[in-house]
Amino acid sequence: MNKFYFFSLIFLFSLGANAQISWTGAGDGTSWNDAANWDAGVPTAADIADIGTNVTVTSDTPVAAVQVKITGQSTVVLDLDLTVGDGVTVEHAVTVGLNSTVTFGTPGGNRTVTFQPEATRQGIAVFGGSENAVINVAESTTLDFNVANNGVNLAGPGSMLTNDGTMNFTSGVNNAFKILSSVVNNGDINIGNVTGDAVGVGEGGDFVNNGTITVDKPNNDAVEVEGGSFTNNGTITATVKDDAGSGNNVIAVGTNEIAGTFINGADGTINGDAGAADNARAISVNELGNFINGGTITLSGGNDGSRFFNRGTTVNDVNGIIDLGDGRVNVNMGDFTNNGLLQTTRDGAGVTTGETATATNNAFIDYASTNNFAIGQGTTTDNGFSLNSGSKNFNNNCFDTLTLQSYEYFYEGNSLGMTNAAGELDVTDANFIDPDSVQITTTIPGVAFFIRNYCDEAILIDAVNNLETAALRVYPTVAAAGAPLSVDLTEITTAAADMVLTDFTGKVIRTQTLRGGEINRISGTQTPAGIYFLQVFAEGKVLTAKVVFR
């Protein structure tokens, strides 16, 4: 047989097996199943569908193609249930070309798109030359990635994916995301035990999570940032694989040669489980890595001595919370700064330092068994406050140093003001009801401690003898124990007034801030039967009433 003829037959067979069929819109202009809308009939599961014009393509029944190409600088909406790829043909499932846009589904449409290219190819691919390519996943749309080398591969500079729907990745995928451009997740991303990284952000990549990301035991890292940045304003819940080593992490940032930045924003939550392996780490910040936490991080599992491993730069920022469970931070080298709250139930200090490391505490630590911020050979500075100590003695002064990092403090829900640049809190005008000790809080949930032995000027009750006394209308004046009371402050012009309930010995039973200009209802006090005195301080006078609980 003529060799040219033989190879021609092979070539023609290949074309027939994977014919490229292009959209013309010459039929109804929108239906996938209208043959007149294509130049060679409706694409089948063995064909490549090329759409290169602005169009919304619809279908009432599920459709399939071996590949979908978005070309011609077009804007395409795929409002249909679609399966792309047969798992055998060596083609990427969906490719998006230069300055083109594809949107999967429409809000409320409840569409499902399934990706199953051959295992060495991509689920969604934007190549390096495809600048400004855009991928959108509409609300209520589900993308299922069953097979792929990279589920989503964004290599084109300036390209972007925005997810408002749900994206699912199974174990048939190597890396769920390989990002060299931009991703914004406002929806849900669920990643199973993929064989590589769940989310990989490389040079120039920028991943912003405003929704939820759940990762279950990937073979490598749940989030790896090398050369790009990741910002979490939503929730990340991730568990590393059972046989993980020190190179398998929930979050890994930077290397010794490549920079990377991870920011957990004020609304961000990270739940990181380093799993069952003794060597696994929850978070690793490497030499050129930068990690900033302004939200809440809860860690568990793995190597409790290095649950948070740092060789780069880590800042637990203002109001940031890092709960290490029963683990600690290993500042092997680099810098670790706590300007928020660092917690551990581990015996001993929550931070250990290597010889060249620097660890600084400017805010709060909450350790189970010690007030010592850090141990080790590195340089350690503690300008903060240990909640384990329980209280701060003001030594009869009106001000004292709490934490170097400035915070606003509260007593009974009322602001005491901010600490100054030296970390000092001035309580001169605090109007504390208890003359000995009061509990104060700050803007970090769970941070509460007592201050004691403050100056007389801070105590409201010491000024009672100098105040005009007037009757207070309270009803009922005889009530069952625990019954609610109504306090009439309709004639008070101040916005707020301090209430004190004492027993006949003068012991303070309850304090509360009331609203002036109205009748305040006080919930049941759960007090035993007896005689009590209710005082309200407002307008430079003290209003008093006797209440009997029986």
For residue range 280-290, what is the model confidence (pLDDT) as tens digits? 999 999 999 99
Q: How confident is the model at residue 17 (pLDDT cuts 50, 70, 90)?
A: low
Beta strand 173-179 with 148-154: parallel, antiparallel or unpaired?
Answer: parallel
Evaluate whether residue 478 is within a structural domain: yes
- Same-domain check for residues 449 and 486: no
Q: How confident is the model at residue 483 (pLDDT cuts 50, 70, 90)?
A: confident
Find the mean pLDDT for residues 124-134: 95
Neighbours of 536 (CB within 10 A): 25
- Same-domain check for residues 484 and 531: yes
Judge whether residue 379 has pLDDT over 90.
Answer: yes
Evaluate whether residue 45 is within a structural domain: no
Q: What is the pLDDT of residue 14?
A: 39
The Cα 142–Cα 127 span in angstroms is 23
- Same-domain check for residues 475 and 453: no
Evaluate whether residue 418 is within a structural domain: yes
Evaluate whether residue 273 is within a structural domain: no
Evaluate whether residue 215 is within a structural domain: no
Q: Which of 307, 368, 308, 362 is nearest to 339 (CA)?
A: 362
Q: Of 458, 488, 513, which closes a domain?
A: 458
Q: What is the pLDDT of residue 531?
A: 87
Q: How confident is the model at residue 467 (pLDDT cuts 50, 70, 90)?
A: low
Evaluate whether residue 544 is within a structural domain: yes
Amino acid at 359: A
Judge whether residue 2 has pLDDT over 80.
Answer: no
The Cα 254–Cα 395 span in angstroms is 47
Q: What is the pLDDT of residue 522?
A: 87
- Same-domain check for residues 398 and 422: yes
Return mean pLDDT, the chain. 93
Which is more confidently placed, 28 or 13? 28
- Same-domain check for residues 413 and 447: yes
Q: What is the pLDDT of residue 528?
A: 82
Find the mean pLDDT for residues 418-429: 96
The Cα 82–Cα 111 span in angstroms is 8
The Cα 336–Cα 332 span in angstroms is 10
Rounded to the nearest 10°, the torsion over CA 109, 114, 115, 117 is: -140
- Same-domain check for residues 473 and 402: no
Judge whether residue 451 has pLDDT over 90.
Answer: yes
CATH classification of the domain holding 534: 2.60.40.3080
Q: Which of 116-130, 455-469, 531-545 has the lowest mean pLDDT?
A: 455-469
Judge whether residue 373 has pLDDT over 50.
Answer: yes
pLDDT in tens, 45-70: 999 999 999 999 999 999 999 999 99
- Same-domain check for residues 484 and 521: yes
Find the mean pLDDT for residues 471-485: 88
- Same-domain check for residues 432 and 497: no
Domain span at 435: 390-458
Q: What is the pLDDT of residue 526?
A: 67
Q: How confident is the model at residue 9 (pLDDT cuts 50, 70, 90)?
A: very low
Query: 278 - beta bridge partners?
Result: none
- Give how many domains the chain has, as a whole number: 2
Give the angle subtended at the CA of 495 by the CAs of 489 and 501, to the nearest 5°: 50
pLDDT in tens, 187-204: 999 999 999 999 999 999
Q: Which of 395, 352, 358 is nearest to 370 (CA)?
A: 352
CA–centroid distance for 179 within its chain:
20
The Cα 177–Cα 194 span in angstroms is 11
Q: What is the pLDDT of residue 257?
A: 97
The Cα 530–Cα 414 span in angstroms is 30
Find the mean pLDDT for residues 432-444: 89
Evaluate whether residue 192 is within a structural domain: no
Q: Of 409, 426, 458, which closes a domain?
A: 458
Q: What is the pLDDT of residue 481?
A: 81
CB 426 within 8 A of CB 440: no
Judge whether residue 507 has pLDDT over 80.
Answer: no
- Same-domain check for residues 483 and 440: no
Find the mean pLDDT for residues 394-399: 96
Q: What is the pLDDT of residue 319?
A: 98
Six token digits for residue 379: 């340089």
The Cα 319–Cα 442 span in angstroms is 9
- Same-domain check for residues 453 and 479: no
Q: Of 432, 458, 484, which closes a domain?
A: 458
Q: How distant, in Å, are the alpha carbons of 112, 141, 145, 202, 400 from that of 183? A: 20, 17, 17, 12, 47
Q: How distant, in Å, are the alpha carbons of 220, 251, 414, 425, 441 from that of 421? A: 44, 34, 21, 10, 19
Six token digits for residue 336: 């670790």
Q: What is the pLDDT of residue 486?
A: 93
Q: Which of 207-211, 236-240, 494-498, 525-529 has the lowest mean pLDDT?
A: 525-529
Please name the residue that has the structure tokens 């010491």. Answer: 462
Evaluate whether residue 356 is within a structural domain: no
Q: How confident is the model at residue 308 (pLDDT cuts 50, 70, 90)?
A: very high
Q: What is the pLDDT of residue 496?
A: 85
